């Protein structure tokens, strides 16, 4: 009670591209801050998920932001709006998520002398390119923007090493590894199916760098086996240059290679009914869907990419394949089909214990609790 009284007039702003990410990945964090007596200010692009936040201690501000846009005029407008908002509300601490809030928000905090934390939840697809003018610009913007942050958080060690290598932050800078949103362990369990059908499930935005094309091509090789089914679950992104063309996807649906379901808010029933989760991503911050699969002991096939290998460190936890390799993914699927039930149980039990120890929601919340030092 005493803590809540001390924090009565203190405010924390959380800034992201949209309210969906704040609801899906930060809801428990927001509730924790409210219980500690802070006023919480949410600043994000408006979507339907803003309706999920109705607490009177929460102030909602809608940010004009184009998540993937590169129009200079639009970007300047977003920067100016953030400056106006921050100058007016003067939060005691601002926590930024996603690339544009991290860069623009940190710049504004630097000018207005506001305590700021940047959470690098993923390096972004631009860093997957070896050489790019835009990549060089982003590196320089990051370098300037993050220089005055109190801390910079990363979801995995390899992303932090990449920032140090590119001299965005110095190795002596205060940085921490925080495993994304973490995972909440509950009583939900995988289904105990009696049928002999083997179901491979991929849950992802339908984007090239998530490994969707590799998944589709591997699925096609098993289309004549009636005991093996492949399903893709996730939102199509028609306006994204990395999005998979609908006609391309339909070809695999129509030839019987796989079935497709659009975005579902609650994935656990489908995940719990899967024989194996396939996640062939080229790179992640920290893959939430892998954590969810591990929490209910679903076997996993994923790549050796950052954000995936943290959860499946080697083949004793799950089956690893190379990113961007159809053949490597197909070999992993073949290996899974040869596994005995006791081998799968050993894998899933080991992964479950690994995730519960290192990636639970409690581990993440403790990191946020430590931020009191920048407010009081």
Instruction: Give residue-wise pLDDT tens across range 194-203.
Output: 567 999 999 9
Q: pLDDT band for position 372 (50/70/90)?
A: very high
Task: State the total domains in the chain.
Answer: 2
**Three-state DSSP class for residue 297:** coil
**Are 202 and 306 in a shared domain?**
yes
Of all residues in the chain, the percent with pLDDT exceeding 90 is 81
**Distant-in-sequence, close-in-space partners of 321: CB < 8 Å, separation ≥ 6:** 280, 301, 302, 303, 304, 328, 329, 331, 332
| DSSP sequence for 105-127 | IHHHHHHHT--EEEEE----GGG
Determine, yes or no, domain membership for 9: yes
Residue whose pair of structure tokens reads 């591997």 in the numeric block? 218
**Three-state DSSP class for residue 337:** helix
* Structural domain boundaries, residue 42: 2-182+360-374
Q: Mean pLDDT throughout 206-235?
A: 96
CATH number for the domain spanning 206: value is 3.40.50.2000
Q: Mean pLDDT throughout 229-243?
A: 89
**Are 10 and 150 in a shared domain?**
yes
**Are 129 and 214 in a shared domain?**
no
Per-residue pLDDT, 250: 95
Per-residue pLDDT, 1: 34
Determine, yes or no, domain membership for 81: yes
pTM over 0.75, yes/no: yes
d(CA 290, CA 284): 11
Of all residues in the chain, the percent with pLDDT exceeding 70 is 95
Per-residue pLDDT, 191: 64
**Are 81 and 108 in a shared domain?**
yes
Q: List the 116-120 sheet strands across, edge first.
A: 58-62, 39-45, 11-18, 93-97, 116-120, 151-154, 175-177
Q: Mean pLDDT throughout 252-279?
A: 94
Q: pLDDT band for position 2 (50/70/90)?
A: very low
d(CA 211, CA 287): 13
């Amino acid at each position: 009670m005493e803590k809540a009284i001390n924090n009565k007039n203190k405010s924390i702003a959380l800034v992201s591209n949209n309210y969906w990410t704040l609801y899906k990945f930060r809801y428990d964090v927001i509730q924790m801050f409210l219980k500690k007596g802070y006023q919480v200010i949410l600043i994000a692009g408006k979507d339907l998920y803003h309706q999920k936040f109705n607490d009177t201690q929460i102030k909602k501000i809608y940010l004009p932001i184009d998540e993937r846009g590169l129009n200079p005029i639009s970007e300047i407008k977003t920067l100016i709006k953030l400056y106006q908002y921050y100058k007016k509300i003067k939060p005691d601490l601002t926590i930024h998520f996603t690339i544009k809030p991290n860069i623009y928000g940190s710049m504004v905090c630097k000018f207005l002398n506001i305590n700021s934390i940047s959470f690098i939840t993923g390096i972004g697809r631009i860093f997957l390119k070896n050489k790019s003018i835009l990549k060089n610009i982003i590196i320089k913007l990051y370098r300037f923007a993050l220089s005055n942050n109190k801390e910079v958080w990363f979801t995995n060690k390899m992303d932090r090493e990449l920032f140090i290598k590119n001299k965005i932050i110095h190795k002596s800078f205060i940085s921490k590894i925080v495993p994304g949103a973490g995972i909440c362990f509950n009583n939900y369990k995988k289904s105990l199916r009696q049928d002999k059908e083997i179901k491979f499930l991929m849950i992802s935005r339908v984007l090239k760098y998530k490994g969707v094309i590799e998944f589709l091509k591997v699925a096609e090789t098993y289309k004549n086996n009636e005991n093996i089914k492949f399903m893709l679950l996730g939102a199509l992104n028609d306006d994204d240059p990395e999005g998979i063309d609908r006609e391309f996807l339909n070809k695999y649906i129509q030839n019987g290679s796989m079935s497709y379901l659009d975005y579902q808010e609650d994935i656990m029933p489908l995940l719990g009914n899967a024989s194996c989760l396939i996640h062939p991503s080229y790179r992640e911050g920290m893959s939430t869907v892998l954590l969810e699969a591990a929490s209910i002991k679903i076997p996993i096939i994923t790549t050796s990419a950052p954000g995936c290998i943290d959860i499946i460190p080697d083949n004793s936890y799950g089956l690893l394949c190379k990113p961007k390799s159809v053949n490597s993914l197909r070999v992993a699927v073949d290996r899974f089909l040869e596994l005995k039930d006791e081998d799968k149980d050993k894998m899933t039990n080991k992964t479950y214990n690994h995730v519960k120890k290192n990636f639970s929601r409690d581990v993440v919340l403790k990191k946020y609790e430590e931020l009191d030092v920048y407010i009081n």
